[in-house]
Structures are given as structure tokens and as C-alpha cells.
């Protein structure tokens, strides 16, 4: 889903279907929010097998069979990281293939700055995001006992983590 979302919206932004300029604020905002929105479901889907195995006690069966706990968790985290890296690589390819740009205000007006070439941090931070998302899914999976509740509640928790600080900051700004 993240790859298809990124590819479709980057192409639409390139073709100026989202706004009259291909590097305006609105197309960039639509693309970024859509990519973030498509990744909101991913941690719940990564945690689903972990919660299922825990609720069915399959890991106990693996322990009895001789599987070490460290190798079990390491292999599960590595497989989730590989799946995340595929999605992140697809999104980065979509960004690099379509000249997504943003405008930077300079003294002489506006300057077009492409995401892929002028912003090197995207090539470092986005793969790090894949590792953070897999780790987050593994840690928060311990909060759930039922796998389907995990899948349904994770997006709500993710939105709370994203929107919660803004609500607290707004409340503190109004109060003080």
C-alpha cells in the first residue's frame, strides 16, 4: 500500500493534477500526508503475528522444540525489517523517479529544490524509519492479548502518538 500510494501521488504531482504547480505546498503536503497515512497501518500488521503466536502459545512450542528466544526474536525482527525495507525502497524509488520538488524562498524569488537530490537526509532517515517502525511494532505488541484488537487499535494508537503532542501543546499554549 505505501508503494502504490507513493507512486500514484508522485506521478499525479508530476503531472500537475494535484495543483497548478508541481512543486507547490499543496502537492507536497498531499503526497507526504498520504505516504504517512499509508504507513499508519503497517505496525499493526507487523504485530499481528506476534500477538497471534503469543495468544496461541506457539512460541512455547518453539521453545520446547529447542528454538532459543534470542534467535526467535532476532529472526522475527529481521523479517519485519526486510518487509519494511521493501516498502521504504519502493517509496524512495517513487520519489526519485518522479521529480518531487518543493519551493524554497530566496532573495530573488522562489527556487525549485528536488527531494531526491537536494535533501540527502531522506536517503538516511527513511531507511532508519523502517527499523524504528519494526522495533515499535515489536515493543507495543506486548500491550495486546488478542491479535484482531491489535490490528484495529494500532492505527488509533499511532494517530494518538502523532496528534497527541499537538493537542497537549495547544492546551498548554491556551492555558499559559
pLDDT per residue, tens digit, the chain (176 aa), is 788 888 888 888 777 776 666 566 777 788 888 888 888 989 999 999 999 988 888 877 777 788 888 888 888 899 999 999 999 998 888 888 887 777 777 767 777 777 777 777 888 888 899 999 999 999 999 999 999 999 999 999 989 988 999 999 999 999 88
**How much is the pLDDT for 82?**
93
- Closest alpha carbon to 102 in 161, 36, 27, 7: 27
Residue 14, judged by CB atoms within 10 A of its CB (0-12, 13-18, 19+), counts as middle
- Separation of CA 125 from chain center: 11
Residue 64: predicted pLDDT: 79
Q: What is the pLDDT of residue 20?
A: 61
Tell me the C-alpha distance between 11 and 34, whole Å.
Answer: 13
Q: How many C-beta atoms surround the C-beta of residue 20 within 10 A? A: 8
pLDDT, residue 26, reads 77
Confidence at residue 80, expressed as pLDDT on a 0 to 100 scale: 93
In the numeric block, the cell 520538488 is attached to 101
Contacts of 30 (CB under 8 A, 6+ apart): 9, 13, 18
| Set of cell numbers at residue 142 | 506486548
Residue reference for cell 488478542? 146
Residue 19: what pLDDT? 66
pTM score, two decimals? 0.76
- Helices and strands in the chain: count of H runs, count of E runs: 8, 2
Amino acid at each position: 500500500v505505501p508503494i502504490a500510494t507513493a507512486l500514484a501521488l508522485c506521478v499525479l504531482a508530476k503531472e500537475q493534477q494535484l495543483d497548478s504547480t508541481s512543486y507547490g505546498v499543496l502537492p507536497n503536503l498531499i503526497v507526504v500526508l498520504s505516504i504517512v497515512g499509508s504507513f499508519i497501518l503497517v505496525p499493526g500488521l507487523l504485530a499481528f503475528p506476534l500477538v497471534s503466536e503469543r495468544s496461541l502459545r506457539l512460541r512455547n512450542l518453539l521453545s520446547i522444540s529447542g528454538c532459543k528466544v534470542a534467535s526467535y526474536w532476532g529472526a522475527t525482527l529481521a523479517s519485519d525489517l526486510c518487509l519494511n525495507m521493501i516498502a521504504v525502497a519502493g517509496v524512495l524509488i517513487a520519489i526519485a523517479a518522479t521529480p518531487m520538488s518543493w519551493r524554497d524562498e530566496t532573495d530573488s524569488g522562489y527556487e525549485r529544490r528536488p527531494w531526491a537530490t537536494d535533501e540527502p537526509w531522506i536517503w538516511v532517515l527513511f531507511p532508519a524509519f523502517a527499523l524504528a517502525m519494526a522495533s515499535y511494532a515489536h515493543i507495543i505488541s506486548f500491550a495486546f492479548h488478542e491479535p484482531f484488537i491489535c490490528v484495529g487499535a494500532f492505527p488509533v494508537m499511532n494517530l494518538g502518538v502523532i496528534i497527541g503532542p499537538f493537542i497537549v501543546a495547544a492546551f498548554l499554549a491556551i492555558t499559559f
